Structure 1
Amino acid sequence: MTSKTALIVIEQIEPLIKTVRSQKVILNNDLARRYGVPTKILNQAVKRNLDRFPEDFLFQLTEAETDGMRSQFVTASKRNVRHLPFAFTEHGAFMAATVLNSPQAIEMSVFVVRTFVKLRHLVLGHQELAAKLNQLERKVVGHDESIQQIVDAIRQLTTAPEPEPRRMGFHTIRNRSERQK
């Protein structure tokens, strides 16, 4: 496959990857379609080789998670789903290709893994960006406080002290020097 074709395949796989239980996963029906096998065959191969799929490779969605996923797709309906779907992580998708042992599954597994890696790099980039934004925000807050202190100091220097209010009534001159003024 050329690099242009590989990029197209990765772009086709990327929307199939969902976030479930804070993990990036691809559902069994999407993975089976990419591997060129019926979902039933993929599920059978997984069930025959469950020892190859620890919890961080594969987990089965709950009914609530399945309903949540179904609500994202307007055309999906309950009658098409007899069993709760499996969710494959990056490593689980690769392991599924090895248990299927078909040339198309092995070839496509490379693209699936590359897509997961691409998404992981995007997430890491966003985390670094968020950390830098937090750091800048802290600096700006510190600068705001410093600027406010400077403005307060300038105001104190520029405001003249208020003159003493003149007392009302008759004023006497106490000494001669004041009389000459």
Structure 2
Amino acid sequence: MQVIEQTIKQKIFTIRGKQVMIDSDLAELYGVETKRLNEQVKRNINRFPKDFMFQLNEKELDGLRSQIVISSETSEEGQILRSQIATSKNMALKPQIKQYNEDFLRSQIATLNKGGRKYPTYAFTEQGVAMLSSVLRSQKAIDVNIQIIRAFIEMRKYISK
């Protein structure tokens, strides 16, 4: 299954001044459980220095919840408005993609509610995402990883303009 580029971009957030993706979003894209993704990272922790990944604190989780809630708001034309500066352009989405995004946002809000997760939430920088495919060791991880890296590159180009 081809991962939709726009969906990936909507899962890139700015935390601590860095463009990152959250472990649960990455696990969903890679088709694994978040717990399993984090287990693989822990088994290979020497590949993930602090500039590749970090654990979110409560304040950052609250900020992330705010970004997700804002990103679920729609304009008068029914277009999704995103909070990220790099993805702030309004764009009309196909109905099936829009529905997927709305379902995803609902699930992420539920996941991020206090008590909704038993484990810490980790954020992965572009370098951390690149390293993930080497520890997950599947063709899907490689294919998805290529698309994620391309999305990070496009976001960086957009921000620099």
- TM-score, normalising length from structure 1? 0.62
Pairwise CA distance, 1:95: 0.6
Aligned-residue CA RMSD (Å): 1.7
1:1-181, aligned counterparts within 5 Å?
Answer: 9-73=4-68, 75-76=109-110, 77-125=113-161
The one-letter code of the counterpart of 1:123 is I
The one-letter code of the counterpart of 2:53 is L
Unaligned runs of 5+ in 1: 126-181
2-structure distance, mates of 1:47, 1:15: 26
1-structure distance, mates of 2:59, 2:10: 21
1-structure distance, mates of 2:68, 2:155: 22
Higher relative contact order (CA 8 A, sep 6+): 2
Aligned length: 120
Identity %: 43
Secondary structure of 1:32 counterpart:
helix
1-structure distance, mates of 2:58, 2:123: 13
- TM-score, normalising length from structure 2? 0.69
Pairwise CA distance, 1:80: 1.7
Unaligned runs of 5+ in 2: 70-108
2-structure distance, mates of 1:72, 1:120: 19
Structure with greater Cα Rg: 1
Greater helix proportion: 1
**1:55-95 superposed Cα distances (whole Å, 9 cap, x missing partner):** 11111111211122124445432222122211001110111
